[in-house]
Amino acid sequence: MQSSHLLLEEPIRMASILEPSKASFFPAMTKIVGTLGPRSRSVEVLSGCLKAGMSVARFDFSWHDPEYHQETLENLKAAVKLTKKLCAVMLDTVGPELQVVNKSEKAISLEADATVILTPDEGQEASSNLLPINFDGLSKAVKKGDTIFIGQYLFTGSETTSVWLEVSEVQGNDVVCVIKNTATLTGALFTLHASQIRIELPTLSDKDKEVISSWGVKNKIDFLSLSYTRHAEDVRHAREFLSKQGDLYQTQVFAKIENIEGLNHFDEILQEADGIILSRGNLGIDLPPEKVFLFQKAALYKCNVAGKPAVVTRVVDSMTDNLRPTRAEATDVANAVLDGSDAILLGAETLRGLYPVETISTVGKICAEAEKVFNQDLYFKKTVKYVGEPMTHLESIASSAVRAAIKVKASVIICFTSSGRAARLIAKYRPTMPVLSVVIPRLKTNQLKWSFSGAFEARQSLIVRGLFPMLADPRHPAESTSATNESVLKVALDHGKASGVVKPHDRVVVCQKVGDASVVKIIELED
Ligand SMILES: Nc1ncnc2c1ncn2[C@@H]1O[C@H](COP(=O)(O)OP(=O)(O)O)[C@@H](O)[C@H]1O
Ligand SMILES: C=C(OP(=O)(O)O)C(=O)O
Ligand SMILES: [K+]
Ligand SMILES: [Mg+2]
């Protein structure tokens, strides 16, 4: 995890590429979000996923009912206990997702050049000529020549089970389409994506609200993944809704950018959201293929300078059925890291793939290699310049901590925080060593009962590149006297030693408040 001699912007000796990487305790600084489902819900597999490096679990409510997800979550909790690896919980909404419903689940063969009708009458039986959909406004939204994509849920693109259609005519509420490729649709549910078309459905549906206020509240979800975020107003609305749902006023909202409308409003959305998910699955259908990379680079840059976590999706689809990614996919993962991604989100690979654990571990290894050659120096300078002067005190402290840690080759940065703000600011400067964010709980009251803050803040750092949280004992008062600081620091160092990230004689940079003053100190360990 130390800064390496290889830098992409300098000539690399070819033989050095083959030198095995030093093993490190943390699989990677880049985080991995795993979507949980049929192939990733036993305690055994979930333990494997956590050990391989998954630190956020995504529960996608486009699929399965709350009871099913609850069972998976209970198993996840058991796996967390067993492995002692923390994991945050992300609830992914259905939103304005269009779906084709195939009640009988009979396979549907579609022939290129034939026509098929999309009808909003869900009572009808799906067939080669007729596909019932869950939305009655499609005929008003599309016109002749528009493109529609229908795929299996979490389609991987390599399947023969997805189909492109071209709208040839609108008849009342029905949409008549010409089939562009031969395919067989199998299963009960397919998602439908009308390319570059505005769908007049709310971003947070009634069903989503129901799930959030029951399942979400019960399970204190750390992240809401807001599917098809199209406007800043969508984020504001979701946040307002969450603020009335018990503990969920602390839930972070991650806006999923999955179509052109979201792309067009990216800057405003980023201002409102706590983080961004670059949903390349859907966006890759909405955008011309030659434009996808540009969106990725531009969006990650904006997230980085804003200091907000960015998550990239759909990286190793082919690992759904294979033990090895394609070289294009492997290169893509590394590029996502070099472009500035905080986390990689796995979809079909962990949900229904044959190799969930191996996929996480492969992706983690690629991320770790990319991190090693990431030009931190260049990035740091650009970020400082972008922020300009005067910097806020806290940002100046955070960037100084990173600079000092690199200069003295510290093995870890320990950052005390309550709100998580200081730790996030340190992560913004992309230190080459892990940051142990020691979250100090704060006692608070809503005039009905006393409780401690901190658990959300700690778990929410599990999606930020380089942050590794530790929740301090709530018996330590939040007031930063030097005595309490020293005892918490000792616990943090012991934690670091136990996990292997801190060794005798290492240097450690500590960021904390002493009295009213924020300080960065460098300590040299003895044994
Ligand atoms: N309980 C604490 N004890 C010591 N230092 C702290 C504590 N909480 C935060 N700090 C330090 O205070 C500064 C402000 O950090 P920040 O995360 O913004 O704090 P807060 O949680 O109070 O918003 C940083 O230097 C941080 O390391
Ligand atoms: C992750 C994505 O969305 P979904 O919720 O459909 O998996 C995506 O579109 O990349
Ligand atoms: K979804
Ligand atoms: Mg999507």
Please say if the pLDDT value at position 25 is more than 60: no
Give the residue among 319, 516, 362, 489 at the shortest CA–CA distance from 413.
Answer: 489
Q: What is the pLDDT of residue 140?
A: 96
Torsion sign over Cα 493, 4, 464, 402: positive
156 close to 348: Cβ distance less than 8 angstroms: yes
Q: Which two tokens stand for residue 258?
A: 């999955």
CA of 129 to the centre of ligand 3 (A): 27
| Distance in angstroms (rounded) separating the CA atoms of residues 245 and 349 | 32
Query: Which atom of ligand 2 lies nearest, measured to the CA of 258?
Result: 9
Q: What is the pLDDT of residue 2?
A: 39
CA of 156 to the centre of ligand 1 (A): 44
| Fold (CATH) for 22-96+202-372 | TIM Barrel (3.20.20)
Closest ligand (CA of 228): 4
Q: What is the pLDDT of residue 468?
A: 95
Task: Specify the range with the lowest mean pLDDT, choosing from 152-161, 268-277, 494-503.
Answer: 152-161
Closest ligand (CA of 509): 1
Query: Of the residues 399, 417, 490, 521, which should be mutated to test ligand 1's pocket, given the most ligand atoms within 8 Å of the CB?
Result: 417
29 close to 402: Cβ distance less than 8 angstroms: no
Secondary structure of 350-409 in the HEC alphabet? Answer: HHCCCCHHHHHHHHHHHHHHHHHHCCHHHHHHHHHHHHCCCCCHHHHHHHHHHHHHHHCC
| Distance in angstroms (rounded) separating the CA atoms of residues 324 and 362 | 8
Query: Of the residues 279, 280, 349, 351, which should be mutated to test ligand 2's pocket, given the most ligand atoms within 8 Å of the CB?
Result: 279
- CA-nearest residue for atom 12, ligand 1, is 513
| Distance in angstroms (rounded) separating the CA atoms of residues 435 and 29 | 9
Numbered ranges of CATH 3.20.20.60 in the chain: 22-96+202-372
Q: What is the CA radius of gyration of the chain?
A: 24
Q: What is the pLDDT of residue 270?
A: 98
**Strand pairing class (31-35; 54-60):** parallel
Q: What is the pLDDT of residue 451?
A: 82
25 close to 500: Cβ distance less than 8 angstroms: yes
Torsion sign over Cα 469, 471, 476, 479: positive
Task: Specify the range with the lowest mean pLDDT, choosing from 282-291, 315-324, 437-446, 489-498.
Answer: 437-446
- CATH code of the domain made up of 98-194: 2.40.33.10
CA of 132 to the centre of ligand 4 (A): 20
Query: Which atom of ligand 2 lies nearest, measured to the CA of 280?
Result: 10
Per-residue pLDDT tens over the stretch 372-407:
999 999 999 999 999 999 999 999 999 999 999 999
Query: Which atom of ligand 2 lies nearest, measured to the CA of 279?
Result: 10
Closest ligand (CA of 278): 2
ipTM for the complex? 0.93
Q: Is 37 in the pocket of ligand 2 (CB under 6 A)?
A: no
Q: Which two tokens stand for residue 17?
A: 């590429």
CA of 265 to the centre of ligand 2 (A): 19
Task: Specify the range with the lowest mean pLDDT, choosing from 17-31, 32-46, 326-340, 508-522.
Answer: 17-31
Q: Is 314 in the pocket of ligand 2 (CB under 6 A)?
A: yes
Q: What is the pLDDT of residue 445?
A: 82
How many CA atoms, within 13 angstroms, populate the side-chain half-sphere of residue 403? 12
Closest ligand (CA of 91): 3
508 close to 412: Cβ distance less than 8 angstroms: yes
Query: Of the residues 314, 344, 345, 350, which should be mutated to test ligand 2's pocket, given the most ligand atoms within 8 Å of the CB?
Result: 314
Q: Which two tokens stand for residue 291?
A: 């434009």
Numbered ranges of CATH 2.40.33.10 in the chain: 98-194
Average pLDDT over residues 156-179: 93
Q: Is 418 in the pocket of ligand 1 (CB under 6 A)?
A: yes
- C-alpha distances in angstroms, 233 versus 142, 268, 277, 364, 413? 24, 9, 17, 35, 37
Average pLDDT over residues 45-58: 98
Average pLDDT over residues 171-189: 94
Q: What are phi and psi of 516, to 5 degrees?
A: -95, -5
State which H helix or E strand residue 300 sits in: helix 292-306
Residue 17 region by backbone torsions, left for phi larger than 0, else alpha for psi between -120 and 50, else beta: alpha
185 close to 164: Cβ distance less than 8 angstroms: no
Cα angle 244-248-252, degrees, rounded to a multiple of 5: 120
Per-residue pLDDT tens over the stretch 343-362:
999 999 999 999 999 999 99
- CATH code of the domain made up of 377-524: 3.40.1380.20
In this structure, which amino acid lies at residue 290? E
Q: What is the pLDDT of residue 5?
A: 63
Q: What percent of the chain has pLDDT over 90?
A: 82
Per-residue pLDDT tens over the stretch 193-232:
999 999 999 999 999 999 999 999 999 999 999 999 999 9
Q: Which two tokens stand for residue 69?
A: 């997800």
- CA-nearest residue for atom 15, ligand 1, is 422
